[in-house]
Amino acid sequence: MSPTALQPDAVHAKVRTLPALPQAVTELRTALQREDVAVDELATTISHDQALTAKTLRLANSSFYGVTGRVSSIRDAINILGLRTVATVATTAVVISSFDRTACTGFDFDGFWRHALATAFCAQELAAATRLDAEAAFSAGLMHDLGRLALATYFPLELGQTLHWAAEHDVHSLDAERLMLGIDHAAVGGLIADHWHFAPAISEAIRCHHELPAHKTITLADVVHVADNMTHALDLSGQAEDMVPPLSLASWQRVALTPQQVQRTFERTERQARSVRESLTA
């Protein structure tokens, strides 16, 4: 049934070839766990990585953060935006640049990033409404479909055939991946998250955003799952043939938004997604 099924070993081997996150990003994320953070030392470390500095400053100066043109150094960025936000910005910049525009037929690279960004903003809103870690939600939302980007980069022929089959049969690409490839993008994303040593909650959100674990209380995975659904429903990817995936009722009930929170999340997600995406993908 599945001429393009991937061998698990081949997938694992490709994930292992991904470069490690830059040391500056690793140090930044580690520093967030400590209370005695030496901001000056950290700023110096990041500043030594010129590519990372340039990407971080471009993003920090985007209209989303409301400080356009005022951030001229990493030290400024930390002072104005705060350490946690700079860590998110730097991680975002690095992840985006880790995967080049791919030659996979049927894979819409720009649409992919538009959806990823919208999901990140939506997840951040939902986390704020439900008192979860908003920065972690942003990161998890941004990277929730990373597995699909990896499939497009490393298995372009197989994913291309899968996307073609999904379009031809008008089924959700997740179902097509499982049927044709024998693995889905969430599972591949989970492998990458482990490879990059993401926080366990973020790894779980990436791995489980289509298949939620049976938790009694709300988790980051619930937030990303609902955010993913909302951004498809808001039609923010710009993809003509987009399709809203199934929503887990248990997850929706754990997120438990009021009508006012739903309205606010829709409004803010649309506004934020439109304001910043050019800065990120330029």
Partner 1 sequence: MPNDHRTVPPPAPADAPHGATPEAVRERLAYLFRASLKQGSIHPLFHLIQQYRLEEHA
In the bound state with partner 1, the residue whose beta carbon lies nearer, of 49 and 184, is 184
CB of 234 to partner 1, least distance (A): 7
Instruction: Write a three-state SS string for the chain.
Output: CCCCCCCHHHHHHHHHCCCCCCHHHHHHHHHCCCCCCCHHHHHHHHHCCHHHHHHHHHHHCCHHHCCCCCCCCHHHHHHHHCHHHHHHHHHHHHHHHHCCCCCCCCCCHHHHHHHHHHHHHHHHHHHHHHCCCHHHHHHHHHHCCHHHHHHHHHCHHHHHHHHHHHHHHCCCHHHHHHHHCCCCHHHHHHHHHHHCCCCHHHHHHHHCCCCCCCCCCCCHHHHHHHHHHHHHHCCCCCCCCCCCCCCCHHHHHHHCCCHHHHHHHHHHHHHHHHHHHHHHHC
Cβ atoms within 10 A of the Cβ of 200, count?
Answer: 11
CB of 171 to partner 1, least distance (A): 8
Among 13, 246, 250, 271, binds partner 1 (CB under 8 A): 246
In the bound state with partner 1, the residue whose beta carbon lies nearer, of 199 and 262, is 262
| Interaction between residue 250 and partner 1 (CB under 8 A) | no
In the bound state with partner 1, the residue whose beta carbon lies nearer, of 29 and 277, is 277
The site that binds partner 1 (CB under 8 A) totals a number of residues, namely: 25
In the bound state with partner 1, the residue whose beta carbon lies nearer, of 214 and 249, is 249
In the bound state with partner 1, the residue whose beta carbon lies nearer, of 40 and 211, is 211
CB of 196 to partner 1, least distance (A): 31
Q: C-alpha distances in angstroms, 9 versus 15, 36, 65, 193?
A: 10, 42, 42, 17
In the bound state with partner 1, the residue whose beta carbon lies nearer, of 135 and 242, is 242
| Interaction between residue 275 and partner 1 (CB under 8 A) | no
Kindly report the CA angle at 159 between 9 and 161, in degrees rounded to 5?
125
Distance, CA of 109 to CA of 171 (rounded, Å): 20
In the bound state with partner 1, the residue whose beta carbon lies nearer, of 81 and 230, is 230
Among 79, 83, 266, 279, binds partner 1 (CB under 8 A): 266
The 141-170 site mask, x for binding partner 1 (CB under 8 A), equals ---------------------------xxx
The 206-245 site mask, x for binding partner 1 (CB under 8 A), equals -----------------------xx-xxxx--x-xxxxxx
CB of 269 to partner 1, least distance (A): 11
| Interaction between residue 247 and partner 1 (CB under 8 A) | yes
Among 38, 41, 263, 278, binds partner 1 (CB under 8 A): 263
Contact footprint for partner 1 (CB under 8 A):
168-172, 229-230, 232-235, 238, 240-247, 249, 252, 262-263, 266
